[in-house]
Structure 1
């Protein structure tokens, strides 16, 4: 089988098999065995996530949604109205500059931003895996087309 890989690499790319990078070797190997190079990237990536990473993805998906914005806006309005009404009655728990509300907002931002960034980094890693898989598929297609051209040229020479 090793000799077949050598011949295939030499015929298609005019480079010895051992001098090819691992991605091209993988593609040549899949051509030789008539197998696919694509794989289900999402399932293989999802299986490697830790519990914390899955929680971060859930928090990021809710924290970046219109539902979160609407609920958070409603919470702030209710907070301000309650403190304004209670301000008139002199029974306030967070007076006008709303320092407690600002502390809560700052704490939320301090926790939410890194969680969303972790989720974005993981999404970038997924995108890189998908891009690598697309590259391998395109490379295999290109090599297969080169093989077909070679076979057609050989057939054309035999016929003439």
Structure 2
């Protein structure tokens, strides 16, 4: 992070030098001109101070330990939230979800119209690829099937 702050300071310094030679109106947010030099100098010094402070803190073992522990706690907190969110979505239980009955029909329709046809197409592509058949499928009047299930029976 200190190296990034130092690189930022160098980038801002180069922009400041270019801006000091430009006296016309700017064309955009990062098109700096001579009137921006003071602000760019301030940003450069701020980046240099941030880099110095980060290097100073990185050399202190206690400070480094606190930083690592804080990062570890934040990461585990993110993992915990993601697991909790996933479980709430994937492990929905009818007794815990008040709108379960209302939304069941929509979920079943989505399963019939989206998921099962997608699964059937995927299995068909895999079967065709495995047997070497790459021709267009032949249209039949037979009902669509997925995993050995007649999809029309689900309606």
Please report the TM-score for the alignment, with normalisation by the length of structure 2: 0.26
Q: Which has the higher helix share?
A: 1
Please report the TM-score for the alignment, with normalisation by the length of structure 1: 0.25
The structure with higher relative contact order (CA 8 Å, sep 6+) is 1
